[in-house]
Structure 1
Amino acid sequence: MTVVDFHARLTPGDAEPAGLLDALDEAGIDRAVVCAGGLLPLDRLAAQITDGGRAEVSADNDGVRRACARSGGRLLPFYFADPERDVEAYAKKAFDFRGLEISPAVHGGRLDDPAVSELAAIAEAAGHPVYLVTVSRPGARPADLLALAARFPRVTFVWGHCGHHGLDVSGLGTIAARPNIVAELSGCLTVTARLAVSRLGSHRVLFGTEYPLQDPGVELRKIAALDLDPSDRQAVLGANACRLLREEMSWTP
């Protein structure tokens, strides 16, 4: 069974990508989608998720791309874009990456901002999925993601963590109306993961780990606890990710 982690991060420093690759090997995960991490101290990030705010921080997207190039094809880079500053840069470099991340928690803003639409249009041209975690503030809630996805029906939007907390089952009901929104499970409760599969269908659900903040083995045990039938389990663990990323299911390092 091919296993693809659709959400891991590379933090600055000499420990990566070796640390992530070791974690994937230990857990039995074949490949991972990676984005820049460590942009904010965790206390600051948690405060912004709760209270709002914007951090003037830039992701080391080029560093992520170089690290992925050294991974023998196991790590697939996503571009982490600040809508206020990175539209032009993403447009120039989009084809060096496999997808896009936008984070209202880190960079603030609203999903109806014209700059977000510009980023989505670039992602559409590049064939990129867009990873996005909604928050509780107006302009960046599941309903706002729904509206953005309606404006870009040919873009697949990945609803990260099934929302910004582990039990956003109302958000599942909101996004269900748009078939071009899929749910990524890292960090959510088992009950939320089970409801994601039942309400959206296994073809709209992705496995992820949120490495290094979460142990990949914990997320794999959560999938095991769902007791899915083999075809649904394969869809969630790898087949859906391979389809979105245009990757072959079988892979040999």
Structure 2
Amino acid sequence: MAAGPGPDPPGPARRLARHGAARELVRGPRPGQRPRCQTLRHRRAHRPDRAGHAVTPAAGARGRLPLPGPLFDFRVRLRPAPASAEDLAAGLAAYGIRRAVVTPGGTAPLEQISRQFLRGGGIREDADNQAVLKACAGLGGALVPCYFANPHHPRAYAEQARDYAAVEISPAVHGVPLADPRTAALVATAAAVGHSVYTVCQPLPGSGVADLVRLAAGFPSVPFVMGHCGIGNIDVYGIRLVRESPNIWIETTGGYTVTLRAALAHLGAGRILFGSEHPLQSPGAELAKLAALGLDPTTWARITWENAHRILGEDIP
């Protein structure tokens, strides 16, 4: 269900208007008067606690949204850089994200990947999966390791799969279509170890949403996650294509609110996973998009917390 009152926090402009400050942003304060919005920010940032001491927000909390319940982000990436795991965890915690599924990032320059997404082609190199495994092991379950499988070297995934919780297969990165037998071989390994398969469809032969539907039909026991709500921001058609495939979920990064509304209508809240693609996208941007839908508490909890546990085969705390 997508209707009903829910966590729909007002935007900055509405908050300012509520306090009578919108006019001052346009006209400026009266002579001798401090800008009211500045005063409000100052009061909120330094309001005293019960003991009378000033309280300053933690670093990174400035953009935090007042949203209910714990959050599980199904799509974040670990940059290949020193201390990136700690930076990643801190950046997520600033938005109330308690857990996240992590895949290696930095496999190729973004300009190259965007070109390959539209025109084809790919790389043959493996992602640094060991770095993700090491990072996740040191953070007490807050980060969940996802293996980035390379269809050019399928044996590596088969040998290491049991150390990870899920797998990603990316035609846009490695250039191997979803309809390719090498992709099917990776999915067969996922089926054997109980992994979900995350992938992003392309507007290219063999890697479209219809190809994902056919692949999922061949592996009915495998949960598939269609990243980014399909192809582009408004792939309502793609959402409709996966409706009759009960083992295909969608992940919310990038899709417009109209696309998410279509997903709720066609698939229901039980087949939608919150994801941010952090650090490429701010978790705050993706959470604001969800909050704008005015979801009821049950729907909100399914999308932002419960479904991720279910698809990973975990108990919901």
Alignment TM-score, normalising by the size of structure 2? 0.77
Gap runs ≥5 in structure 1: none
Aligned to 2:58: none
Q: Deviations over 1:200-234 (max 9, x none)?
A: 10000000000110001111111111111111110
Say if 1:2 and 1:239, in contact at 8 Å, map to a contact too.
no
In the alignment, residue 242 of structure 1 is paired with which amino acid? Answer: H
What is the alpha-carbon distance in structure 2 between the residues aligned to residue 18 and residue 164 of structure 1?
A: 32
Structure 1: how far apart are the matches of 2:252 and 2:170?
Answer: 17
Kept in 1, the 8 Å contact 2:231–2:238? The answer is: no
Higher alpha-carbon deviation: 191-200 or 68-77: 191-200
- Aligned twin of 1:126: 193
Q: Which shows bigger deviation, 132-141 or 108-117?
A: 108-117
- Aligned equivalent of 1:185: 252
Q: Which runs of 5+ in 2 are unaligned?
A: 1-68
Quote the Cα distance in structure 2 between the aligned partners of 1:109 and 1:91. Answer: 18
Which residue in 1 is equivalent to 2:134?
66
Cα pair 2:229 2:235 within 8 Å, conserved? yes
| Residue 6 (structure 1) aligned to one of 56, 59, 74 | 74
Deviation string 1:116-142 (CA, Å, 9 cap, x unpaired) is: 111111111111100000000010000
Answer whether contact 2:251 2:273 (CA < 8 A) is retained: yes
Query: Is 1:173 paired with 2:173?
Result: no
> Mean alpha-carbon deviation: is it higher for 108-117 or for 229-238?
108-117
Number of aligned residues:
249
AA of the residue aligned to 1:9: R
* Aligned counterpart, 2:287: 220
**Secondary structure of 1:27's partner?**
coil
1:5·1:29 contact (CA, 8 Å) conserved in 2? yes
Once the two structures are TM-superposed, the CA of residue 30 in structure 1 deviates from its matched residue by: 0.8
Coordinate RMSD, CA, aligned: 1.0
Separation in 1 of the partners of 2:264 and 2:86? 32
- Say if 2:179 is the partner of 1:112: yes
Q: What is the aligned counterpart of 2:150 among 82, 101, 105?
A: 82
Aligned partners of 1:239 and 1:175: how far apart in 2? 21
Q: Percent identity?
A: 47
**Matches of 1:249 and 1:222, distance apart in 2:** 24
Contact persistence 1:2–1:249 (CA under 8 A):
no
Range with greater deviation from structure 2 (112-121 or 75-84): 112-121
Counterpart of 2:87 in structure 1 is 19
Q: TM-score w.r.t. structure 1 length?
A: 0.96
Give 1:39's aligned amino acid: T
The CA deviation at 1:246 is 2.4
How much does 1:79 deviate?
Answer: 0.6
Matches within 5 A, 1:238-253: 238-250=305-317
Within 1, Cα distance between the matches of 2:158 and 2:260?
34
